[in-house]
A and B are shown apart, each in its own frame.
Chain A
Amino acid sequence: MKRCLPLALVILAAALLPLLLDPRGYWIRVLTFTLLFAAMAQAWNIVGGLANQTSLGHAAFFGIGAYTSTVLLLKFGISPWLGMLAGGALGGVAALVIAIPTMRLQGHYFALATLAFGEVMRVIANVWTSLTGGPGGLSVPFVPPSFAAYSFKLLRPHAYIALVALIVVTVIFEIIRRGAMGYRLRAIKENAPAAEVIGIDTTKVKLQAAVISGILTAMLGTLYAQIAVFFDPDTVFGIASISIRIALIAIIGGVGTAAGPILGAFFIIPLEEIMNAWLSSRAAGLSQLVFGVILIAVILWRPRGFITVIDALRARLSRTVKP
């Protein structure tokens, strides 16, 4: 219960923030993307944190979600809410397709294989012009604002939907982490042969985790499409823009914990936005350069993420409270 308190405070703060920010302003957009990326990093955390499989290809699922709902809306006028379900289903299938051949891989090998899978999807999206519009990208068509059509005049509803998504994904993550599946995944992470010996079907558990993570990430892709309104293959299937960023958020925050991706997202996304706003007009590449330097510094300082700072603080506090 004590562990949930800071989390509840963060959620409460996030619930009030959209009301305080100018609904037409810049910062509500930053907040919306922060919440969305926190949710994505949390979905990644199921595979990357619990199963300890560092995926660098989650853009594959994300892009599938963005394209599925938008193509369904464009070609058949289907509401993005239903498109999100279809995207989630396709994302789950894609996760299964890539998980089966890469299941046995670990560490760097798994990272490399998933990286290549993300690139395969990006190339396909660029080439399959009749469906995706190719490198020119897709615009989400304008429909009269209504909740059923997932179309709003202002960003405020988008911020709340992103917040709900973050809460849902976090709850799913916690249920998995605390449940039997979480124990199985941790057993596999610590010692796969031993887990096999005590009767855990390691392949099945890893596949389940991968598919759940893929479904959630694809559904979040639909959210992104509706907020961004325009996207192209290089943004939604991008290595740096999506795959690495998602993993980075979870890692900077603290892998395998529910608070980690949220901490990471509230650090990285605003930081990037602030630096883009301040530095990108000065010289090309400067803001990304500073970003890279900060990233290196954070990893050298806290290789296990910001969560360790909080743990250390808590340890110090409890030491002073109980003499």
Chain B
Amino acid sequence: MTLLQAILDGLLIGGVYAVISIGLTLVYGVMGIVNFAQAEFLTIGMFVAWFAWAFLGLDPVLAAPLSFAVVFAIGWLVQGQLIARVLKAPSVAQIFLTVGLLIVIENGSLLLFGSQFRSVTTSYQTMSLSLGPLFISVPYLIAFAMSLACGVALWWFMRASWFGRAMRATAQNPSAAQLMGIDTDLMYKIAFALGVGLTAFGGAVILPYVTVFPGVGGQFVVLMFTVVVLGGLGSIAGAVVGGLTVGVIQALSSLFFPIQLQNLVLFIVFILVLAVRPQGLIGAHR
């Protein structure tokens, strides 16, 4: 029964992992850039939601669209001013530009907000529903539902809207897309802004059960990479599968290993997947 409970918890947490990691895979899929600073946008999203809760009395879950919007705007600027300049540079320059961004955001938030831990209190924080012998934590459930809604919206956007199709065309062949009259620079801006915005959205919905501080993003870095590599870098559907898998792996390893070794399990899974199936478990190509 504890096994089932762990799997259930893992799936609920994993749904959120999927949403925060989709941005990483989206940016890679469209531009071929791995954004090492992606997790820092989770931190920003969490701070926005925390301040909305502290000063406007907004529930973090309701503040999630606000987090999305603020970080979308930041991402738009970052793409236009910084990332666009290294799209054709060697991959080391791309990696280290985003590493520089990581350092700036982490220390910028330390400078602005200080190093203290901040958390929110909500009415549903400690509530749980019982499903037969199993318990469903309400904050997990809400975060999962919000992530699901977000994922469905993104899926619709990519499949059905003109922008989504134009973005997929850009990912497949930028010069052909340009010949068809698609503004690829605009598509890159939308992709990057959307990607970091989604991560910020995920940051807001986990605020009821995760405390925010300037280094919080760092705790999610390897996790996010594991999610996208499991699903195949560049594949959005893969990120969903990867997110759920990582959630379950984490929940199960907490049953068998002491807390310090939990990340180790994740890292080893990560290296093994890269070594054995670098195209990801479901092997979808962009």
Q: Give chain A's interface residues, CB within 8 Å of chain B.
A: 48, 54, 56, 98, 101-102, 104-105, 107-109, 111-113, 115-117, 119-120, 123-124, 126-127, 240, 244, 247-248, 251-252, 255, 283-286, 288-289, 291-293, 295-296, 299-300, 303-304
Contact = CB atoms under 8 A, between A and B. Distances in A.
A296 B101 contact: yes
Interface stretch (B137-145, B147-155, B272-280): B272-280
B186 interface: no
Contacts of A117: 267, 271
Interface string B245-262: 000000000000000110
Contacts of A255: 90, 92
Interface stretch (B59-67, B103-111, B123-131, B188-196): B103-111
Contact of A101 (B86, B214, B271): B271
Contacts of A56: 95
Contact of B108 (A109, A123, A285): A285
B111 A291 contact: no
Main secondary structure of the interface of A (DSSP, over half): helix
Nearest to B263: A123
Given A127-B261, A284-B115, A116 B91 contact: no
Interface string B108-126: 1011001100000000000
A186 B82 CA distance: 30
A113 B275 contact: yes
Contacts of A120: 264, 267-268, 271
B110 A101 contact: no
B90 A303 contact: yes
Contacts of B12: none
A292 B101 contact: yes
Contacts of A111: 34, 95
A116 B270 contact: yes
B262 to A, nearest CB: 9
A315 B233 CA distance: 41
